[in-house]
């Protein structure tokens, strides 16, 4: 489904190397964790996937599509195939949970009827039906992240990209968020997640790609957190 073909990213005219000769592929319905120290290149890798950044060398494919050859006008359409979750949630502070999720559907041009139907469903999937009219500042960190996940899945993307989704959460909230991501994966959506959390990786028992200084150093199909 996703192919990285010898991808390198060099900043500052060769002075700082973020990625070096990355090649791997992700199959449909896989749950892949990417681990590594800060600065290992995890986030840069994800940015390539959502076409926020382009490689200095090599190619990234989504199915048969070369992501960095997509014309600018077609990029929004491509991004709708991807749901994104971030460490800092990126919820809009003056919108309720419902409105935050509805916003993503509006941007996709979905009808008001669909929005009224799908938003509560997405919130139910993350166990937040009772917080539907709360604003982000009225929610805990774990709850905010679950709203963000609901927003990411509401448009039924092919793939979820989660960049350190548990980075700001306590252990219980971390557990809940990982369980939700697992559930989403079981329902058929590919998940790519970066993390620092050893517990999360060991608990998951899924594929782990380990990165160090811009290179893939390990790729285990039933990996553990080894650094």
Site residues (CB under 8 A) for other proteins? 50-52, 72-73, 75-80, 82, 84, 90-92, 94, 103-104, 106-109, 111-112, 151, 155
Choice between 106 and 138, CB closer to other proteins: 106
CB of 167 to other proteins, least distance (A): 17
Choice between 27 and 66, CB closer to other proteins: 66
Choice between 77 and 198, CB closer to other proteins: 77
Choice between 37 and 54, CB closer to other proteins: 54
Query: How many CB atoms sit inside 10 A of residue 223's CB?
Result: 20
Choice between 54 and 198, CB closer to other proteins: 54
CB of 186 to other proteins, least distance (A): 24
3-class secondary structure, 151: helix
CB of 119 to other proteins, least distance (A): 13
Strand (E) or helix (H) holding 91: none
CB of 79 to other proteins, least distance (A): 4
3-class secondary structure, 74: helix
CB of 142 to other proteins, least distance (A): 20
Q: Which residue is listed with tokens 């790609």?
A: 209
* H-assigned helices in the chain: 42-49, 75-79, 97-107, 112-125, 141-153, 171-186, 198-204
DSSP structural state of residue 52: S
For the chain, the straight-line distance linking the first and the last C-alpha, in angstroms and rounded, comes to 27
Q: What are residue 208's DSSP bridge partners?
A: 33, 220
């Amino acid at each position: 489904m996703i192919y990285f073909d010898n991808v390198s990213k060099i900043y500052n005219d060769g002075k700082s190397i973020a990625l070096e000769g990355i090649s791997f592929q992700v199959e449909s319905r896989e749950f892949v964790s990417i681990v590594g120290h800060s600065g290992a290149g995890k986030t840069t890798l994800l940015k390539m996937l959502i076409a926020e950044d382009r490689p200095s060398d090599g190619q990234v494919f989504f199915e048969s599509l070369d992501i960095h050859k997509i014309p600018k006008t077609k990029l929004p359409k491509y991004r709708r195939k991807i749901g994104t979750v971030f460490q800092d949630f990126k919820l809009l502070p003056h919108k309720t949970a419902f409105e935050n999720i509805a916003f993503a559907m509006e941007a996709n041009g979905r009808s008001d009827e669909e929005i009224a139907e799908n938003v509560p469903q997405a919130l139910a999937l993350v166990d937040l039906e009772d917080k539907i009219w709360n604003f982000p500042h009225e929610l805990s960190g774990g709850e905010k992240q679950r709203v963000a996940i609901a927003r990411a899945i509401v448009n039924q993307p092919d793939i979820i990209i989660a960049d350190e989704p548990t980075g700001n959460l306590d252990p219980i909230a971390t557990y809940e968020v990982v369980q939700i991501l697992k559930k989403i994966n079981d329902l058929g959506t590919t998940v790519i997640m970066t993390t620092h959390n050893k517990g999360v990786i060991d608990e998951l028992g899924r594929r782990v790609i380990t990165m160090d200084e811009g290179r893939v150093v390990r790729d285990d199909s039933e990996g553990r957190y080894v650094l």
